[in-house]
Amino acid sequence: MLLPILLFIPVFYLLLIRPQQKRQKQWQQMLGAIKTGDRVTTAGGIRGVILSIKDDAIVIRVAPDNLKLEVAKTAIASVTQEESK
């Protein structure tokens, strides 16, 4: 009776907790590697090019009117590609 409960804990860890930790680590590495000129997408779906990086925020340029937006670093969902120069 106790054996199924004891087996449930490692399965729960391997299927739920470990993959989430792995995704979190990859996201942290991505945030640490961003640089000026990278094309990013925010969690809200806004796409732009990084103009400057501050401690906890970045300034991005958004097309078509070249608007400058300051967003929190944690709002960056992905780095889509580097802007070709």
Mean pLDDT of 2-28: 91
Task: Tell me the CATH number of domain 2-82, given options 2.40.110.10, 2.30.30.60, 3.40.50.150, 1.10.1200.10.
Answer: 2.30.30.60
Preceding amide of 4 cis, omega within 30? no
- Side chain identity, residue 53: I
Distance CA 40, CA 45 (A): 10
Per-residue pLDDT for 54 more than 70? Answer: yes
Mean pLDDT of 49-67: 95
Per-residue pLDDT for 44 more than 60? Answer: yes
Per-residue pLDDT for 85 more than 70? Answer: no
Among the listed residues 13, 80, 16, 73, the one whose alpha carbon sits nearest the alpha carbon of residue 48? 80
Q: Which residues contact 76 (CB under 8 A, 6 or more apart)?
A: 30, 31, 34, 40, 41, 42, 43, 58
